[in-house]
Amino acid sequence: MKAAVAILLGLMLAAAAGASPNLSAPAPDGLRPGGSLADSHPAPVIAPPERDAHPTPRAHPYLPPVVPHHVRDHQLDLNANRCLSCHDVGRAEAMLAPPMTPTHYRDREGKETERIAGGRYFCLQCHVAQQQVRSPVGNDFFYQGRRHAPLDR
């Protein structure tokens, strides 16, 4: 009996030792450090939201700009769309915010709509709020000879 347990344990140890190098392989692009499956690493800090950024340069025309302010408690549902209360063309002047461009008032057939087009209602689908993080990988996107890496501050 004792011998059987010892053999079993030995086998398990051998299996673990044999398996762990594979589990611990770093991800090829350097995103994940080695050993992250077999061992535990300290979790990265939760990045604070960017409360008041400056408008981030866009990499190329027609790219939705990122949101340069915090969006905490910004209700966005059937009842209310807080983004519209500042960015709707009728509101923007009073709230000193940039108005949405005409593309937001055009449905998918290209017809002008009186109010915001349905496909543009959920702003955060296209415009993302920012957090104070460094991009984990480099960005080698070039547009018209200009390199785009606005987050690597």
Partner 1 sequence: MRRWIVEFWRTLSRPSQHFSLGFLALGGFVAGILFWGGFNTAMEFTNTETFCIACHEMEANPYAELKPTIHYTNRSGVRATCSDCHVPQDWTRKVARKMEASKEVWGWVFGTINTPEKYEAKRRELAEREWARLRANDSLECRNCHTFEYMDFTVQTARARQLHATALADGDATCIDCHKGIAHRLPDMTDVPGW
Residue ranges binding ligand HEC (CB under 6 A): 54-55, 62, 64-65, 67-69, 71-74, 76, 81-87, 95-98, 100-101, 103-104, 116, 119-127
Q: Of 46, 78, 102, 111, which lies in the binding site for partner 1, with binding defined by CB under 8 A?
A: 78
Is residue 46 within the footprint of partner 1 (CB under 8 A)?
no
Contact partners, residue 127, CB within 8 Å, separation at least 6: 64, 65, 66, 67
Residue placing its CB nearer to partner 1 in the complex, 73 or 109: 73
Q: Which CB sits closer to ligand HEC, 35 or 99?
A: 99
20 has which bridge partners?
A: none
Two tokens at 91? 């509101």
Phi, psi of 34 (to 5 degrees): -65, 150
- Considering the complex, what minimum distance in angstroms separates the CB of residue 46 from partner 1? 13
- Taking the C-alpha atoms of residue 89 and residue 95, their distance in angstroms, rounded to an integer, is 10
Rounded distance between C-alpha atoms, residue 57 and residue 38, angstroms: 41
Q: Chain centroid to CA 102: how far?
A: 26
Question: Which residue number, 30 or 65, has a Cβ lying nearer to partner 1?
Answer: 65
Binding footprint of partner 1 on the chain (CB under 8 A): 51-52, 69-70, 72-73, 75, 77-82, 84-85, 91, 95-97
